[in-house]
Amino acid sequence: MITHQPRSRPAPWKARKHSTTPRWLTPFIALEWGLEWVAFALSNSTLLEVLEYLGSFSVLVAVIFYFAESGDRVKQRHYQAWQVINTAQGKGGSGGRIEALQELNADKVPLVGVDVSSAFLQGLNLKNASLLRSDFSSADLRNSNLAGADFALANLNSANLRGARFDYAKCVQTDLRNTDLEGANLSGVDLSGASLDDADLRGANVNDIQWQHLASIKSANVASVKNAPPGFVAWALANGAIDQPSVEQ
């Protein structure tokens, strides 16, 4: 901000001229003297002071408008994220969908019904996301963080979830057939009404999973599951699951 300070009145030209020793400096001294008078006049001008206040006021107005329009900017950002997701629907690769999904989830936007089937989404972070009726079929979700996500009625058929965090996810009536869950953390997952037919659960952490109301587990591989709740493995084998440590066998 400019500080308004009135300047002292310049000395008369005669006094200034006589103070100049070399004659060739006279034009330069005259120019400087003229500018001093201009500065003097402006420093004592009320108009200049008013313009200074108007400049400060314009900054304040700009700040107010910036915050007033923040909601519109958020909406625009969300619209662009959804556009990225929908444009790449049904295609392989990432196509910017990892960043778009994470941005929407970070802003607490429900991702209900999102379709990212066959997408390459390794390392995706959708912790506690709302993913009801979503389609992640055949998606590559290795090493992703999906802890606490709500996958009720979602399609995860043939998805790759190796090494993923899936703890405390809600998989009520979720299609988990042919899903690769090898080494995944399934602690506390609610599998009520879910289908795990042909799923690979080898080495998965199944501590405290809610399995009592599983719809089906035929041909699911439960070899070397970790921290299995009492009765889970016996029930799974009795209902068609297999214990096959190596897929080559």
Higher-confidence position of 8 and 154: 154
29 and 98 inside one domain: no
145 and 28 inside one domain: no
Domain of residue 234: give its range: 93-249
230 and 162 inside one domain: yes
Task: Over range 72-88, report the average pLDDT.
Answer: 90
Q: Map the chain to HEC letters.
A: CCCCCCCCCCCCHHHHHHCCCCHHHHHHHHHHHHHHHHHHHHHCCHHHHHHHHHHHHHHHHHHHHHHHCHHHHHHHHHHHHHHHHHHCCCCCCCCCHHHHHHHHHHCCCCCCCCECCCCECCCCECCCCECCCCECCCCECCCCECCCCECCCCECCCCECCCCECCCCECCCCECCCCECCCCECCCCECCCCECCCCECCCCECCCCECCCCCECCCCECCCCECCCCCHHHHHHHCCCECCCCCCC
146 and 26 inside one domain: no
Please say which residue of 22, 52, 68 terminates a domain. 68
**228 within some domain:** yes
pTM score above 0.75? no
229 and 107 inside one domain: yes
**53 within some domain:** yes
44 and 99 inside one domain: no
101 and 149 inside one domain: yes
**CATH, residue 218:** 2.160.20.80
**212 within some domain:** yes
Instruction: Quickly state the pLDDT bin for 94 (edges 50, 70, 90).
Output: confident
103 and 207 inside one domain: yes
**42 within some domain:** yes
Instruction: Quickly state the pLDDT bin for 66 (edges 50, 70, 90).
Output: low
Looking at residue 176, its pLDDT comes to 98
103-124 pLDDT, tens digit per residue, is 999 999 999 999 999 999 999 9
Overall number of domains in the chain: 2
33 and 147 inside one domain: no
175 and 239 inside one domain: yes
Task: Reply yes or no on whether the pLDDT at 169 is more than 60.
Answer: yes
31 and 119 inside one domain: no
Higher-confidence position of 237 and 94: 237
Please say which residue of 34, 53, 68 terminates a domain. 68
**80 within some domain:** no
Task: Reply yes or no on whether the pLDDT at 3 is more than 80.
Answer: no
**88 within some domain:** no
Task: Reply yes or no on whether the pLDDT at 76 is more than 70.
Answer: yes
185-214 pLDDT, tens digit per residue, is 999 999 999 999 999 999 999 999 999 999
**1 within some domain:** no
Looking at residue 249, its pLDDT comes to 44
**62 within some domain:** yes
Looking at residue 90, its pLDDT comes to 81
Higher-confidence position of 82 and 72: 82
104 and 187 inside one domain: yes
